[in-house]
């Protein structure tokens, strides 16, 4: 009827005990069509009683393990925030009630996606269990022109009849071998000191050099200069989007600071938040329509900042050029990519009203594009992903950054729970 074809693609990783699945939808009609839902995978289990293990949380308490019986209703794990989120992780386990660490059957399903997603679980009147994973459909649509193809994110399925420990190890091995890339994939990461909680915005080149001198005596291998090095940034109210060095703070320039740090035997890292813009910034004054907003509505500030419209090529190109200018001229060994607020007022000035729901997916594809360009242009930089801590801890981000900051909470007791939940997936 519609001339829309759906092709289902499977990858069989025999040694890893993982099967992948995604879908490609092609419009073969002579006129455009609009997708309203495009799930990546559907798993039907026509037998057994199952329990759902999922990983909920909040900022500073991510990936808390919760185990619930699968009942005759619809259970949903999702994010509508434009990020995989602190609140829910795009990974679930279906386990038999008696399954523990070393015995019992369990299925894992992991979505390779960093944007808004939806995982639906239903047990029907015949006691058959269905699991559906994909892009969050309430915030999604996509116009397909004749001949165009839409590809869904990939899902990673795995199964164990030897308990949760074996399932976790299968995902650990798969992510390390087949998702993570680069020279840091298989080697010990450098021990680093980050300037943030030691100095916040109140640093200059002498203070950072003093940190490096002391750190060297403790066996620390890298100094990371966090937020505050760019534009006129002395607090959280300005300069996101102005990615040029603040030479009032770094008086000899960035290269001179790096030389001082390297002279102490330490490598040097730097902080960015490329997807954000401050109202008080040169970039915002030059391009007030570049932030994410809805026409005729007052946009919502979060952490004194707006989100940049990474669905737009001109926005991405501007940020790419600014970052490339700094990274190509300085000896930088590490880059921390942060994302400190979720997306509200989701809309783009370039999308017409009937295509506004394309924004969320276009945004995350834009982020992937910039990350891909950076990792190819600077293959020797260690990229660490951060999203107010662990707000984008997902396998798609691991493809671009083999290291992710698990949480802003470093309390040793609470971190045990965060690390435990994280380790069941990653």
| Active site (catalytic) residues | 338, 408
Q: How far is CA 135 from the centre of its chain?
A: 14
CA-nearest of 95, 94, 151, 144 to 119 is 94
CA-nearest of 250, 253, 323, 329 to 283 is 323
In the numeric block, the tokens 């990546």 are attached to 40
| 382 within 8 A of 336, measured Cβ to Cβ | no
Q: The tokens of 419 are what?
A: 């690390």
Q: Is 255 left (phi over 0), alpha (psi -120 to 50) or beta?
A: alpha
Instruction: Output the CA angle 174-413-171, nearest 5 degrees.
Output: 10
Do β-strands 106-112 and 91-95 pair in parallel, antiparallel, or remain unpaired?
antiparallel
Q: How far is CA 250 from the centre of its chain?
A: 30
Q: Is 235 left (phi over 0), alpha (psi -120 to 50) or beta?
A: beta
Q: Which helix (H) or strand (E) holds 150?
A: strand 149-151
CA-nearest of 318, 252, 335 to 281 is 318
Separation CA 266–CA 272 (nearest Å): 20
Reported in sequence order, the residue ranges of 124-241 that DSSP labels E, i.e. its strands, are 129-135, 142-144, 149-151, 154-160, 192-194, 222-225
DSSP 205-222: HHHHHHHHHHHHHTT--E
Give the helix ranges, DSSP H, for 232-350.
254-263, 282-286, 313-329
Reported in sequence order, the residue ranges of 217-354 that DSSP labels E, i.e. its strands, are 222-225, 267-272, 276-277, 306-307, 334-337
């Amino acid at each position: 009827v519609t001339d829309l074809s759906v092709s289902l693609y499977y990858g069989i990783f025999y040694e890893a005990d993982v099967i992948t699945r995604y879908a490609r939808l092609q419009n073969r009609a002579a006129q455009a069509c609009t997708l309203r839902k495009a799930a990546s995978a559907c798993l039907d289990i026509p037998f057994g009683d199952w329990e759902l293990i999922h990983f909920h949380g909040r900022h500073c308490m991510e990936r808390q393990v919760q185990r619930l019986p699968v009942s005759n209703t619809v259970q949903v794990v999702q994010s509508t925030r434009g990020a995989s989120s602190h609140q829910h992780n795009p990974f679930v386990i279906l386990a038999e009630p008696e399954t523990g660490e070393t015995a019992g059957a369990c299925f894992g399903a992991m979505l390779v996606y960093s944007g808004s997603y939806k995982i639906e679980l239903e047990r029907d009147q015949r006691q058959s269990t269905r699991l559906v994973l994909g892009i969050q459909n309430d915030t999604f649509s996509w116009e397909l022109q004749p001949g165009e193809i839409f590809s869904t994110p990939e899902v990673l399925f795995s199964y164990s009849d030897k308990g949760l420990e074996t399932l976790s190890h299968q995902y650990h091995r798969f992510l390390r071998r087949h998702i993570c890339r680069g020279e840091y994939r298989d080697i010990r990461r450098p021990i680093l000191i980050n300037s943030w909680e030691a100095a916040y915005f109140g640093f200059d080149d002498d203070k950072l050099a003093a940190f490096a001198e002391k750190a060297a005596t403790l066996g620390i291998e890298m100094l990371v200069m966090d937020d505050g090095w760019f534009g006129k940034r002395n607090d959280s109210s300005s300069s996101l989007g102005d990615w040029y060095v603040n030479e009032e703070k770094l008086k000899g320039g960035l290269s001179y600071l790096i030389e001082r740090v390297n002279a102490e035997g330490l490598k040097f890292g730097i902080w960015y938040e490329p997807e954000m813009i401050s109202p008080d910034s040169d970039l915002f004054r030059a391009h007030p329509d570049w932030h994410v907003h809805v026409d005729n509505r007052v946009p919502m500030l979060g952490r004194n900042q707006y989100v940049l419209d990474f669905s737009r090529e001109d926005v991405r190109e501007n940020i790419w050029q600014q970052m490339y200018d700094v990274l190509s001229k300085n000896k930088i060994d590490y880059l921390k990519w942060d994302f400190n607020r979720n997306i509200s007022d989701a809309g783009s000035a370039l999308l017409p009203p009937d295509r506004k729901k394309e924004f969320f997916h276009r945004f995350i594809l834009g982020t992937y594009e910039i990350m891909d360009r950076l990792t190819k242009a600077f293959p020797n930089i260690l990229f660490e992903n951060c999203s107010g801590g662990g707000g984008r801890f997902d396998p798609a981000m691991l493809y671009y950054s083999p290291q992710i900051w698990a949480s802003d909470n470093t309390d040793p007791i609470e971190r045990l729970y965060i690390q435990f939940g994280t380790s069941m997936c990653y």
